[in-house]
Structure 1
Amino acid sequence: MFNLWVDLSLSILEAQQVIWLRGMRIASGGKAAEREAKLMVSEKIEAAGRSITMLAMGAPADKFVSYYGGKIRSNRKRLLRSPA
């Protein structure tokens, strides 16, 4: 249970960074901003579908945190390394 709260807390902090990085990318305009906006929307739709499936199958909370944490981390890494 302790690890769940630690993972969740870290994911929240990383999510804030992803929000900021995405905001900067979109605010810069151009093709990169358009791609980022489309990617963000498609990821939200995919995550919603995945969440519904996980809930329907009775997945425990740590599976949700693990799934979303992985998505958040991969977005953070991508946004930090690509120049726009």
Structure 2
Amino acid sequence: MYNPFFSSMMLALEAQRVIELRLVRLAWGGREGMAEAQSMITEKMHAAGEAMTTLMMGGSPETVIARYREHVAFNTKRLTAA
């Protein structure tokens, strides 16, 4: 059985790691900081558009949460690869 509370809580916890990693990059500044700031805004706009489209097409909130968790996992992997 799907538990929306658990998935939402996991998304919040996983997102905290990405926030931490991004803040470090932003704090260091320079080209990497600027690139991270730009990609952060672009990614958020695309993710919100994707979520809106999913819901408008009849998708479930569970699908949206699962997709956001994929985005967060990708960002965690990308930001820790350096």
How far the C-alpha of 1:5 sits from its partner, in A, is 3.1
Q: Structure 1: which 5+ runs fail to align?
A: none
Q: Residue in 1 aligned with 2:66?
A: 66
Residue 55 of structure 1 corresponds to: 55
Q: Deviations over 1:19-62 (max 9, x none)?
A: 11101101101000011011001101101211221121121121
SS in 2 for 1:58: coil
TM-score scaled by structure 2? 0.89
Q: TM-score, normalised by structure 1?
A: 0.87
- The 4+ residue runs of structure 1 with deviation greater than 3 A are none
Match of 1:7 in 2: 7
2:18–2:75 Cα contact (<8 Å) kept: yes
CA distance in 2 between partners of 1:7 and 1:80 (Å)? 23
> Which letter does structure 2 place at the counterpart of 1:72?
V
Whether the 8 Å CA contact 2:25–2:33 is kept in 1: the answer is: yes
Q: Which amino acid aligns with 2:23?
A: G
Q: What's the C-alpha RMSD, in Å, of the aligned pairs? A: 1.2
Where does structure 2 lack aligned partners over 5 or more consecutive residues? Answer: none
**Residue aligning to 1:30:** 30
| Higher RCO (Cα < 8 Å, 6 or more apart) | 1
